[in-house]
Amino acid sequence: MPSVSDTYIENRQRVQPTHTNNYASAHGGNVVKWMDEVGAMSAMRHAGETCVTAKINELDFKRPVPQGDTCLIESYAYAAGRTSIRVRLRAFREAPRTGERELTTESYFVFVAVDADGSPTPVPELTVARDRCRELRDEALAAEPGDER
């Protein structure tokens, strides 16, 4: 069975002029796209199946990612249902020469595993084998927004 740390992925995207808005920072739609792509990879690592986005839970933009910086996306699965996988996603602006990071965006996505016909298919349990797995899972559960709306 896959563990939380098996699904951990970091990916970087250099923010080019074609990725920016009128304020020379990454367009929010591009950041969401990058988060969705990396989140799906984490979900697929867990499920061993194709995964599609089912829900984006509270997408919070805290600060911009300036042109020329790197947008670093951090993603990992922290909970699984019968056919769904909950993934924590955070984006950081990263200075390419120094590696200095600052949190810019965070969200929680839900992906559903699908078979070749596009029908939901069961996923394995997500294990929490090591302390690092437990820390990541507990962090995500503590910060995850509720559905009390």
Q: How confident is the model at residue 10 (pLDDT cuts 50, 70, 90)?
A: very high
Average pLDDT of span 26-35: 98
DSSP labels, the chain: --BGGGG-EEEEEE--GGGB-TTSBB-HHHHHHHHHHHHHHHHHHHHSSEEEEEEEEEEEE-S--BTTSEEEEEEEEEEE-SSEEEEEEEEEEE-TTT--EEEEEEEEEEEEEE-TTS-B---PPPB--SHHHHHHHHHHHHHPPP---
pLDDT of 147: 52
pLDDT (tens digit, 9 = 90+) per residue, 41-82?
A: 999 999 999 999 999 998 989 999 999 999 999 999 999 999
With 60 as the cut, is the pLDDT of residue 149 above it?
Answer: no
pLDDT of 148 strictly over 60: no
Domains and CATH numbers, the chain: 4-143 (3.10.129.10)
pLDDT tens digit sequence for 101-147? 999 999 999 999 999 999 999 999 988 878 888 888 888 888 887 75
Q: What is the pLDDT of residue 113?
A: 98
For the chain, how long is the longest CA-to-CA vector? 46
What is the spatial distance between Cα 69 and Cα 99, in angstroms, rounded to a whole number?
10
